[in-house]
Amino acid sequence: MILARITGSVVSTIHHPVVDGRKLLLAERLDQNGDPTGGYLIAMDAIGAGKGETVLILDEGSGARQILENDRAPVRSMVVGIVDAVEIALT
Amino acid sequence: MLLGRVIGTVVPAMLVDELSATPLLWVQPLDREGQANGEPLVCADGTRMAGPGQVIYWVSSREAALALDPWFVPVDDAIVGLVDEVRNYSPGELES
Domain range annotation of chain B: 2-95
CA dist., res. B2 & res. B25, Å (int): 15
pTM equals 0.91
Average pLDDT of B30-54?
A: 95
Q: Which CATH architecture has domain B2-95?
A: Beta Barrel (2.40)
Residue A23 lies in a domain: yes
- Backbone phi, psi, residue B56, to 5°: -135, 170
Give the angle subtended at the CA of A6 by the CAs of A5 and A11, to the nearest 5°: 155
Residue A38 lies in a domain: yes
Structure confidence at residue B95 as a pLDDT band (50, 70, 90): confident
Q: Which residue type, as a one-letter code, is found at position B30?
A: L
Report percent pLDDT > 90 for chain A.
Answer: 88
What value does the CA radius of gyration of chain B take, rounded to a whole number of Å?
15
Q: Pick the closest to residue A40 from B4, B1, B72, B8 (CA basis).
A: B1
- Domain tally for chain A? 1
pLDDT by residue (tens digit) across A1-43? 999 999 999 999 999 999 999 999 999 999 988 899 999 999 9
Distance from CA of A19 to the nearest CA of B (A): 8
Q: By the 8 A CB rule, do B8 and B39 touch? A: no
- Give contacts of A27 with chain B, Cβ < 8 Å: none
Residue A59 lies in a domain: no
Containing structural domain, residue A11: 1-54
Residue A36 lies in a domain: yes
Alpha helices for chain A (secondary structure H): 61-68
Distance from CA of A48 to the nearest CA of B (A): 16
- CB distance from B47 to chain A under 8 Å? yes
Q: By the 8 A CB rule, do B56 and B27 touch? A: yes
Residue A44 CA, chain-centre distance (Å), reads 6
For residue A91, the model assigns a pLDDT of 64
